Structure 1
Amino acid sequence: MHDLIPLAAILSLFVGLPWLIFHYVTQWRKSGSLSIQDENLLDELHDLARRLDDRLATIERIVAADNPAFRRPETERLADDAQDDHVFDRIAERRRQR
């Protein structure tokens, strides 16, 4: 009986531990990227956010036309007011080109 304890310890170290590590590494690699459904959902959400952003910009232009004193603070400017492209726009464009 006492001879089985060292044998079990050695087996668990040299068989069980590497198996456990390789199992979780494989699971991590499989789930390391987004699924096609998740990518499509992100694309839809991105398009919806762009449309909402455009609507808000339109409302702000209407309010600014009606009230000349209205002006957005610099910190609240929308992303499309910036001159450079947004990272997500470039990613979405690459996906559309595929």
Structure 2
Amino acid sequence: MYDILGILFLSIVLPLIIIGHYTTKWRTSRSLTNADQQMLEELWDDSQKMESRINALETILDAEVPDWRRKV
């Protein structure tokens, strides 16, 4: 009797426990940590600053060297 219960436990219950464990781990790892969220916000701010600087440089180049885009 105990042999059958052991086999059922190993073949049915244990795999379900393992699948549940790794599913929970996978769900929690999908979300960003606070440090990741902060780094992402800083990168976003930096990219916005860089975009405005590039736009300013392009405006200056358009005024001073009208055909600079064709040279690049």
Query: What's the TM-score once normalised by structure 1's chain length?
Result: 0.60
Write 1 or 2 for the structure with the bigger share of helix: 2
Aligned length: 69
Partner of 2:12: 14
Runs of 4 or more, structure 1, over 6 Å off, are none
Give the gaps of 5 or more residues in structure 2.
none
Q: Which stretches in structure 1 are left out of the alignment for 5+ residues?
A: 73-98
Q: Secondary structure at the match of 1:68?
A: coil
Larger Rg: 2
User: How far off is 1:69 after superposition?
Assistant: 2.7
Percent identity between matched residues is 34
Higher relative contact order (CA closer than 8 Å, sequence separation 6+): 1
C-alpha RMSD over aligned residues: 2.1
1:53 aligns with 2:51: yes
Residues 1-98 of structure 1: pairs in structure 2 closer than 5 A: 8-71=6-69
Q: TM-score, normalised by structure 2?
A: 0.78
* Residue identity matched to 1:20: I
CA distance in structure 2 between the partners assigned to 1:52 and 1:28 by the alignment: 35
